[in-house]
């Protein structure tokens, strides 16, 4: 059975936070998979339980209510029904947890999603749920292909699997003891208010880099960021600036360092610019109207600093045709993590998600692929673009924080619907391809390779590297 891997769909509930871009495209793509039995793996962040106004605590009743709202939204319903048709055609479904959908660990929530497939119970049972506390290593034609969502090396988004209840949980796991990650806390308590009250839709698109999202929000409306911090009783000034850094507290027994001071430092504010920012974030009234040049300059630097990491992740570069495309070459820390996982689990291919950036690299006997995302992606200037280009981009973002389509010129949204296809190779091992669904033309193969089976040179090389510290 061939395997198709998708990740980071972020299916929403239709209540204003949705960022899923494949409402028509994904059901159409899934319907092409019904011609032969296919295993569809949804590799984390399939549905997004953070896109709501509810308190961030794990309660079965609330999670079930949120799940029902998700499956009632038309785009989410259409995707699940299309997945049901894949299962009805003899296929399988595997839904692995990510950091935005830990509620899927609960049996009661799983039942809601199975019912939404629109299939008889015996067919719906072909949808299986997997916790993400360990990678899943598929044996394909003798090759070992590792799947993981990818948050395991992201300290801000690690999932507290030790206390996450549900089928397969450790004995004694209790929802009352479950602690959400720092990234989830900040999404709910800071980014959601900025989106809800001030229309900063772009903040969702910059995730999982929430520090970059907050710096970009400061560039658009520093007063709004200050008010959002005050609403959730968080100290903002010294978290953003260098002097007097102290931990911020979400709850009395939980200290969390935002890590924003380093990002502000990297933006290179002058003393005058830093003073202007301190004043707008200080204890006095929130200023309105004209701003002094120092604050305008500080906002521009912060905005560029916040958005550059996103630009580098997707690395928008000019192609021969003058059109921009997303570079597939991974960053060095991504490649290092793929090597670590391959060494630890003796895998010839590593398939991840989480970053929302499709990737492909094969060398040293290892294939690393990131399956990308099905949310909207935002075009940015190149990190090497001059200040004037970034200034124009940020001015547009200030005018159009909701990213209304008719007002998009430079800050444009576009999707890139990517997936990974894995099947047995005729000569043994696995055929692995990174593909893109491009309506209306259909499926395009971006890269494809033969991953050899165990006992081959590939596995021998991985064995030789096993002397490294695997963590």
pLDDT tens per residue across span 81-110: 999 999 999 999 999 999 999 999 999 999
Structure confidence at residue 223 as a pLDDT band (50, 70, 90): confident
Residue 432: give the domain boundaries. Answer: 2-178+322-375+415-459
Q: Which of 113-127, 239-253, 457-471 has the lowest mean pLDDT?
A: 457-471
pLDDT at residue 16, as a whole number: 84
Mean pLDDT, residues 234-244 taken together: 51
Structurally, the chain folds into a number of domains equal to 2
pLDDT digits (tens, 9 = 90+) for 364-411: 899 999 999 999 998 888 777 888 888 899 889 989 999 999 999 888
Using the 3D structure, point to which of 406, 427, 449 is the last residue of a domain: 406
Residue 311 lies in a domain: yes
Mean pLDDT, residues 449-463 taken together: 61
Residue 355 lies in a domain: yes
- Rank 54-63, 272-281, 285-294, 373-382 by mean pLDDT and report only the highest: 54-63
Structure confidence at residue 275 as a pLDDT band (50, 70, 90): confident
Residue 12 lies in a domain: yes
**Is residue 56 domain-shared with residue 29, that is, in the same domain?**
yes
Asked if residue 313 has pLDDT above 90, the reply is: no
Asked if residue 138 has pLDDT above 70, the reply is: yes
Positive or negative torsion for Cα 396, 289, 402, 217: positive
**Is residue 243 domain-shared with residue 163, that is, in the same domain?**
no
**Is residue 392 domain-shared with residue 435, that is, in the same domain?**
no
**Is residue 247 domain-shared with residue 263, that is, in the same domain?**
yes
Q: What is the mean pLDDT of the chain?
A: 86
User: CA nearest 411: which of 376, 436, 373?
Assistant: 376
Say how far apart CA 313 and CA 209 lie, in whole Å.
10
pLDDT at residue 234, as a whole number: 55
Asked if residue 5 has pLDDT above 70, the reply is: yes
pLDDT at residue 276, as a whole number: 85
**Is residue 82 domain-shared with residue 92, that is, in the same domain?**
yes
**Is residue 154 domain-shared with residue 250, that is, in the same domain?**
no
**Is residue 149 domain-shared with residue 58, that is, in the same domain?**
yes
- Give the percent of the chain with pLDDT over 90: 56
**Is residue 401 domain-shared with residue 449, that is, in the same domain?**
no
Mean pLDDT, residues 435-464 taken together: 76
Q: Which of 106-115, 213-222, 454-463 has the lowest mean pLDDT?
A: 454-463
**Tally of CB atoms within 10 A around 211:** 22
Residue 471 lies in a domain: no
Q: Which of 241-255, 266-280, 282-296 has the lowest mean pLDDT?
A: 241-255
Say how far apart CA 453 and CA 261 lie, in whole Å.
47
**Is residue 251 domain-shared with residue 398, that is, in the same domain?**
yes
pLDDT at residue 286, as a whole number: 56
**Is residue 254 domain-shared with residue 355, that is, in the same domain?**
no
**Is residue 141 domain-shared with residue 125, that is, in the same domain?**
yes
**Is residue 110 domain-shared with residue 150, that is, in the same domain?**
yes
Is cis: bond before 202, omega within 30 of 0?
no
Asked if residue 241 has pLDDT above 60, the reply is: no
User: CA nearest 6: which of 47, 34, 52?
Assistant: 47
Using alpha carbons, list the distances in angstroms from residue 210 to 24, 178, 189, 236, 297: 29, 22, 12, 15, 22
Structure confidence at residue 246 as a pLDDT band (50, 70, 90): very low
Structure confidence at residue 129 as a pLDDT band (50, 70, 90): very high
């Amino acid at each position: 059975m061939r395997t198709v891997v998708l990740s980071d769909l972020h299916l929403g509930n239709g209540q204003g936070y949705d960022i899923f871009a494949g409402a028509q495209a994904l059901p159409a793509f899934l319907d092409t998979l019904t011609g032969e039995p296919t295993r569809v793996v949804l590799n984390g962040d399939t549905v997004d339980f953070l896109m709501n106004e509810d308190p961030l605590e794990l309660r079965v009743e609330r999670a079930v209510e949120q799940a029902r709202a998700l499956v009632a939204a038309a785009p989410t319903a259409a995707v699940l029904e299309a997945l049901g048709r894949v299962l009805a055609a003899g296929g399988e479904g595997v839904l692995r947890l990510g950091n935005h959908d830990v509620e899927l660990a609960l049996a009661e929530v799983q039942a809601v999603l199975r019912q939404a497939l629109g299939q008889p119970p015996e067919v719906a049972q072909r949808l299986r749920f997997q916790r993400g506390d360990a990678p899943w290593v598929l044996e394909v034609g003798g090759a070992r292909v590792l799947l993981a969502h990818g948050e395991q090396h992201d300290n801000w988004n690690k999932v507290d699997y030790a206390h996450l209840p549900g089928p397969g949980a450790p004995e004694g796991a209790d929802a009352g003891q479950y602690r959400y990650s720092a990234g989830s806390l900040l999404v709910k308590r800071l980014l959601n208010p900025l989106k809800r009250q001030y229309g900063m839709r772009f903040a969702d698109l910059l995730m999982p880099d929430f520090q970059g999202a907050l710096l970009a929000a400061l560039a658009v409306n520093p007063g709004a960021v200050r008010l959002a911090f005050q609403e959730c009783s968080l100290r903002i000034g010294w978290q953003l600036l260098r002097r007097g850094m102290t931990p911020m507290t979400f709850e009395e027994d939980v200290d969390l360092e935002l890590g924003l001071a380093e990002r502000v430092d990297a933006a290179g504010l002058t003393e005058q610019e830093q003073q202007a920012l301190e004043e707008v974030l200080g204890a006095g009234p929130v200023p309105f109207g004209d701003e002094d040049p120092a604050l305008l300059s500080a906002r521009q630097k912060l905005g560029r600093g916040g958005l550059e990491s996103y630009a580098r992740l997707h690395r928008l570069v000019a192609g021969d045709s003058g059109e921009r495309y997303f570079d597939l070459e991974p960053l060095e820390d991504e490649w290092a993590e793929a090597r670590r996982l391959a060494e630890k689990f003796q895998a010839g291919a590593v398939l991840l998600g989480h970053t929302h950036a499709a990737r492909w690299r094969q060398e040293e006997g290892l294939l690393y692929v990131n399956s990308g995302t099905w949310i909207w992606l935002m075009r940015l200037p190149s990190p090497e673009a001059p200040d004037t280009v970034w200034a124009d981009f940020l001015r547009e973002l200030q005018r159009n924080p909701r990213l209304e389509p008719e007002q998009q010129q430079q800050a444009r949204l576009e999707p890139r619907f990517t997936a990974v296809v894995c099947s047995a190779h005729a000569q043994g091992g696995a055929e692995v391809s990174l593909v893109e669904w491009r309506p209306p033309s259909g499926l395009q193969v971006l890269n494809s390779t033969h991953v050899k089976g165990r006992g081959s040179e590939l596995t021998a090389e991985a064995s030789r590297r096993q002397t490294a510290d695997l963590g």
